[in-house]
Chains A and B, each alone.
Chain A
Amino acid sequence: MQLRTRINLSWLWLVLPLLSCQSAPGKAAIDGPDPLHSEPLKQAPAEAGLPPNPIALAMHSSETFAVAKPPISEDMWPCTTCHDGNDVNRNRRVLKEEHTNIQLHHDEEHRWCLDCHDATNRDYLHLASGVTITFDESYKLCGQCHGDKYRDWRMGVHGKRTGQWNGEKQYLLCVHCHSPHEPHFKPLKPEAPPARPTSIR
């Protein structure tokens, strides 16, 4: 498995810059009862006739991970309640009316909302290749740039897994610990220190 992981990675790093330039926005509208937790949509890239997309292969490998529910507040979901797909403003801008609580500190000089969120159907994300993914597959999106962390996460070395050490495991998504808009881990208040020997009677 580790060998395969390395092969995947080398593919990723080689083709990522090329293909991210080719990402095409034109996609058909997506229907789905519950995009947050549904099966991943294996939608092919729009450019017909091209050889199989290596990123799509890597990102849509048969590996599946049982992940915890994505940390999206109930009152904000589904996104299509407001974002109905009409009149999409694709211009990069500072949001002044809605989502003002979101401060983008994540390579903000180069990216903004619609680089990750799918403009056509806001209940999905999309990869650089244009392939749409559900929110519980968001690790694929993160793995496009953070390939080393993605590799470690899949092996269980980065991030947190719970469940059985010899059986079923549940993964936390990247976004459970790292806010995608502000990924730096937030400091915590430490629990009480141990008693000093002098204070023990």
Chain B
Amino acid sequence: MADTSPNPQDLDPNAVHGCASGGSCGCSGGTDDVSEADMDAPMDGNQVMGTYYDGGKIENRSMGGLALTRREFATSMGIVTGAIAAAGCSGDALEVFKQTRLREMTQPQVKEFLARLEREYKAKYNTDITVGATPPAEGVKFAYALDLSRCIGCRRCVHACVKENNQSRPNPEGEHNNPIQWIKVLEMEKEKGINLEEADPYYNPDKVPREGHFYMPVACQQCENPPCTKVCPVQATWKEADGIVVIDYDWCIGCRYCMVACPYGARRFNWAEPHLPQKDINPNTHVLGNRPRSKGVVEKCTWCIQRVRNGRYPACVEICPVGARKFGNLNDPHGEIRAVLENKRVYILKEDLNTQPKFFYFFGV
């Protein structure tokens, strides 16, 4: 629902304008004003036309045999249903129905959306959860490095990640138990080198590292050329300007094409309603990151987008007891990532697939 009127306010991404100029107030205005040309125009970060995100071009695909576009269809349905719902339903329910994708929202719409999410989480979890939407910083391209010579396979990162990112916990009493972990640590034999086919993620000795073994944690590689985003039929996943591949949890239809496309097995699907006890909730969340998800959507590592966009290190970096995990700005010539790339032997997982990961394994010795 990008506002396309040549209002000078709209050209300023920081301008906060009233709801009269957008569709955030619940009226149906805005959507029909979007021309095809505007939809296809690349959204440059500096010339954001009232949109919050500069995630890039969103193709306008028409639906099957219908002459209507998906959005026109949805909007017209929204008007019809909205008229019905206005009588009985609460305002939030109507907003949920009318919600567009995050990348197309204007700033007031995003603000309204985040507030609604916080209300929903408060009602569901009885906890105050803040949902942020810090955008990418200019000139920043995140990258990650992991020292395979140091990692001892202790899985501290896996569990710190679960806590930080509100992943679904095991639910022994419930109907479903679908614990989700974004990091998978593979144990491999030193003699055989990096051999994914014989790698064991279920190792559980008394002490690690085991003699003759090394460990390779695998999570989202935040590819510069991500195969997962290309296959999404609804373009609910994309690469942000700072290189983090994110998912619009409210636009994901759960088809899991992206999970098939990902060569690293980095994406996870919520087969059941996530089990997130109130005491375990991390209340500091990002709309594209660790906010509680719902059943039927895909989720993945975002390098703790809620932390790194505010200058902090990802939770896995902070917890690692051997300091094997490095994180920083690839564009910073004096940062640790560049130091690794310039001075160490670097290994890129499945480099031959041309996914161009920004996750670099290296050998510190």
Contact = CB atoms under 8 A, between A and B. Distances in A.
Contact of A193 (B204, B312, B321): B204
B323 A193 contact: no
A160 B207 contact: no
A154 to B, nearest CB: 9
Contacts of B203: 190, 193
A191 B342 CA distance: 33
A167 interface: yes
B339 A190 contact: no
Interface size on B, as a range, is 35 or more
B364 A157 contact: yes
A12 B220 CA distance: 41
Contacts of A165: 308, 311-313, 327-329, 335
Contacts of B339: 2, 152, 155-157
A201 B336 contact: no
Contacts of A195: 170, 177, 179
A92 B2 CA distance: 79
Interface string A144-186: 0000000010011111111111110000100001000000010
Interface in A39-54: none
A42 to B, nearest CB: 26
Contact of A164 (B140, B207, B311): B311
B206 interface: yes
Interface residues of A, number: 31
Contacts of A161: 323, 336
A29 interface: no
A194 B308 contact: no
Interface in A83-109: none
Contacts of A166: 140, 311, 329, 332
A101 to B, nearest CB: 21
A192 B203 CA distance: 9
A76 interface: no
Nearest to B314: A165
B202 A194 contact: yes
Interface stretch (B50-58, B151-159, B351-359): B151-159
| Residue from A161, A165, A194, A196 with most neighbouring chain B CB atoms (10 Å) | A165
B202 A196 contact: yes
B155 A192 contact: yes
A157 B326 contact: yes
Contacts of A164: 311-313
A187 B204 contact: no
A21 interface: no
B322 interface: yes
Q: Which secondary structure characterizes the binding site on chain B?
A: loop
A6 to B, nearest CB: 10
Contacts, number: 106
Nearest to B321: A188
A189 interface: yes
B323 A172 contact: yes
Given A165-B313, A201-B176, A190 B328 contact: no
B320 A160 contact: yes
B209 interface: yes
A1 interface: yes
A157 B208 contact: no
A145 B336 CA distance: 23
Interface in B21-51: none
Given A157-B343, A160-B323, A165-B313, A187 B209 contact: yes
B204 A190 contact: yes
A191 B336 CA distance: 28
A68 B336 CA distance: 19
Contacts of A14: none
A185 B149 CA distance: 13
B308 to A, nearest CB: 7
B230 interface: no
Nearest to B325: A160
B190 interface: no
A188 B154 contact: yes
B334 interface: yes
Contacts of A192: 155, 159, 204
Question: Which are the 10 A-B pairs with shortest beta-carbon distances?
Answer: A160-B323, A156-B336, A187-B207, A191-B155, A155-B339, A164-B311, A190-B208, A188-B154, A159-B323, A193-B202
Interface of B: 140, 147, 152-156, 158-159, 170, 175-179, 181, 184, 201-209, 308, 311-313, 318, 320-323, 326-329, 332, 334-336, 339-340, 342-344, 364
20 contacts: A2-B343, A152-B339, A155-B336, A155-B343, A156-B328, A157-B147, A158-B323, A163-B313, A164-B313, A165-B311, A165-B329, A165-B335, A166-B329, A189-B208, A191-B156, A193-B203, A194-B184, A194-B202, A201-B175, A201-B176
Given A2-B343, A166-B311, A172-B323, 19 more contacts: A155-B339, A156-B326, A156-B336, A157-B147, A157-B344, A157-B364, A158-B364, A161-B336, A162-B318, A163-B313, A165-B327, A177-B322, A177-B323, A187-B207, A190-B203, A193-B201, A193-B204, A194-B181, A200-B178
